[in-house]
Structure 1
C-alpha cells in the first residue's frame, strides 16, 4: 500500500488545488482553494468559458463596475468549486477576499453571497467551507456565520492565540500553516534546513492538536502548507491534512510503511480562561513570526485577488 493510502487511514486527506483533473487523480475527501489557486485555474483555456459566464452573471445584476467585478470574482470561485464537488464526496473551501479580513460585516456579507451562489448551483451549504483569514474580526464573523449553518475554515493561522480564539468561538475548522512557519525560521536564522524533530511548523500543529483534544474542542484541525512529505508524515493522525498535488504524487509513489504519530484521549476538561480581544491582540503581537506571516499572507492573497479582478475587467 502506498503512503497516500496508508495516510488516509489516519487522517482525512484534502487536495490543495483548484485543478479538477488533479483532484480526480488523487481521490481525496475534500478540496481547498484560495485566490492563488483560482488565479492559476482561470489562466487555463478550459476555464475561459466559466470566466465569461461569471462576468455575464454579474453584469445582469445592473450594479456598478466595482460591485460587478467583485460579484464575478466570487462567482468564478463558486463555479470552479461546483465543478470540484462533482469529483469529491466531501467539501470544498472557498475564500472570501482577504482584503476584507479586518471587516467583520463585509466578511459575513461575502460569505453569505458565496453560499447563495452555491445554492443557486444546487449545492447545499453543508458541502461548503468559507475560508477566512484568522484575524480577530474574521473569527467573530465565523462565529456569527456558524449560527446560520455556514461552516468556516479559518486559514493563515500561525499563533496559539489564533487557535484558542477559533476554538472558543466554535469555528468549524482551522488551517494552521506548517510550511510557512518553517520558511520563516529558515530565513530568520539563515539555516539550510531544520530536522523534523525540531520543525517549528510541525511543533505548532502538535501543540494545537493536544490542546484541542485535552479540552474537547470540536473544531477540526487541518494542517496545511507543507514543504516536504516528512512534515506530513510527522502529523499523521491530525484530523485533516491538505496537501499539494506535488506532495500527493510523492506520497502515492512511496511504499514505505508509515505510523500514526498524533494520538489522543479526550480529557473532557473545560478551559476556563477564555481569550478576550485585548489578550488575543497582545498574545498574537508577541509572536513575531505569526504577526509577520499573517500580514504577509493577507497581502499575498490580496495581490492575487487583484490579478483575478484585472482579468475580469479585461474580459468585461
Structure 2
C-alpha cells in the first residue's frame, strides 16, 4: 500500500489527542464502560451510582486505552438522560477521548453536544436508515465514526462483499463532506463457535480494506470467543493475529493482562512499536509494580 494512501483518524478530548493510522501503534478503544454488556455497570447506574462506571474509565485509561467507549443501552431510564450524565461523570474524573455507543440517535446528539474535542460514534453501517440518521449528527458535531461493513442485506459472507459495503459508506459519506479519515471500519468479528470460516473471512476483509482504501480498522475483538471455553485466551491470540493483519483500533479490555500483552507483542513484531520501546517500558513498569508489592507485603508482615 502506498504511504500516501494511509488514513489518519484523529479523536480528541479537551487536552488529549489520539492519532490512529496504519503506520502507528495500536490504539485501544476500552470496552468496559458498557451498561448493556456488564451487569455491574448496569446495576450501579440503575441505582444512581456512577462510581463503577467512572472507575472503569480510569482503570482502562491508566492501563493504556487511548479512547473510552461508553454505552448506556438497556436500562429503564431513557438513554437520552443517561448518556450525557455518563459522559460528564467520566470527563470530570479523566480527560480522555470518548467513543459513544448508542441505540437512540437523539441520545447520541445530546451527548456529543456536551463533549469538548472530537468524539467517535459507535456506529454507523451501510444500511440506508442508519446513514440517513447518523451522518447528519456526525457532520453537526464534527465526529468520526466506526462503520460496520454491513448493509440492508445484512453482513456479507465474503471479504469482497464487506469491501463493497465500506466503499458504499464512503461514497454516501462524500455527500456530507466525509473522507476515509472520518471512518474506522469494523470488519466484523463473528464467533468461531458458530461459523467455521468466520476468522479467515474477517482477516482477509481487513487486509483487503487496508489495501484498497488505506483505512483504519476496528473489531469487537471479544466477539470471536462467544460460546467457547477459555474465552480470554482465545481473545488474546485473536487480537494479536488481527493486529498483524491490519486492525489498529480494537474495541477490547486492555485491563486484562493477557490482552494487553498480546497487543504489545503484535505491535513489536509488526514494527509499529519501534524497537519494542513500549513493550520494554511496560515490562519495566510491571517489574517495578511487582517489587513494590513485595516490599509492601514485607512491611505488613513485620508489623504483625
TM-score normalised by structure 2 residue count: 0.51
Can you list the C-alpha shifts for 1:167-189, whole angstroms capped at 9, x where unaligned? 23126233515432xx1x64245
**Is contact 2:83–2:108 with CA below 8 Å preserved after alignment?**
no
Query: Which of the numbers 68, 74, 79 marks the counterpart of 1:31?
Result: 68
Compare relative contact order (CA 8 Å, sep 6+) and give the higher one, 1 or 2. 1
Contact 1:202 1:231 (C-alpha < 8 Å) held by counterparts = no
| Cα displacement (A) at 1:25 | 4.1
**1:201 has 2:202 as partner:** yes
Which secondary structure does the structure 2 equivalent of 1:131 belong to? strand
Post-superposition shift, 1:250? 0.6
Does the alignment pair 1:112 with 2:109? yes
**CA–CA separation in structure 1 for the residues paired with 2:31 and 2:209:** 21
Whole-Å Cα distance in 1 between the matches of residues 144 and 169 of structure 2? 10
Shift of 1:157: 3.5
User: What do residues 245-276 of structure 1 show as CA deviations (whole Å, max 9, x unaligned)?
Assistant: 46x421335685742289xxxxxxxxxxxxxx
Query: 1:80 aligned to 2:81?
Result: no
- Secondary structure at 1:93 match in 2: strand
Name the CA distance, whole Å, in 1 between partners of 2:57 and 2:109.
24
Counterpart check, 1:242 vs 2:279: no
Matches within 5 A, 1:126-137: 126-134=117-125, 135-137=127-129
Can you give the 5+ residue segments of structure 1 that lack an aligned partner in the other structure? 1-7, 43-50, 52-68, 99-106, 214-218, 263-316
Q: Given the alignment, which residue of 213, 229, 233 partners 2:236?
A: 229
1:179-198 counterparts in 2 under 5 A?
A: 179-180=189-190, 183=191, 186-189=193-196
CA 251–174 in structure 1, closer or farther in 2 if over 3 Å, else same: same
Taking a change above 3 Å as real, the CA distance of residues 15 and 111 of structure 1, as seen in their structure-2 partners, is: closer
Give the whole-Å Cα distance in 1 for the aligned partners of 2:93 and 2:143.
21
**1:92 equivalent in structure 2:** 98
Which contiguous aligned blocks of 4+ residues in structure 1 show a shift greater than 4 angstroms?
Answer: 86-90, 253-257
Q: Which has the higher helix share?
A: 1
In 2, the alpha carbon distance for the partners of 1:29 and 1:256 equals: 17
- Is the CA contact 1:10–1:260 (under 8 Å) kept in the aligned structure 2? no
Q: Gaps (5+ residues) in structure 2?
A: 1-22, 34-55, 151-161, 225-234, 273-304
1:252 to 241, 260, 269: 260
Q: CA deviation at 1:155?
A: 4.9
Query: Among residues 32, 38, 41, which one is paired with 1:17 in the alignment?
Result: 32
Q: Matched residue of 2:269: which SS?
A: coil
TM-score (norm 1): 0.50
* 1:45-83 deviations in Å (ceiling 9; x for gaps): xxxxxx9xxxxxxxxxxxxxxxxx53xx22322222333
Tell me the C-alpha RMSD between the 2 structures: 3.7
Tell me how far apart the structure 2 counterparts of residues 34 and 177 of structure 1 sit (CA, whole Å).
Answer: 20
Change (3 A) 1:253 1:147: closer
Deviations 1:88-130 (A, max 9, x none): 65421223316xxxxxxxx4x44322223x2xxxx31x34223
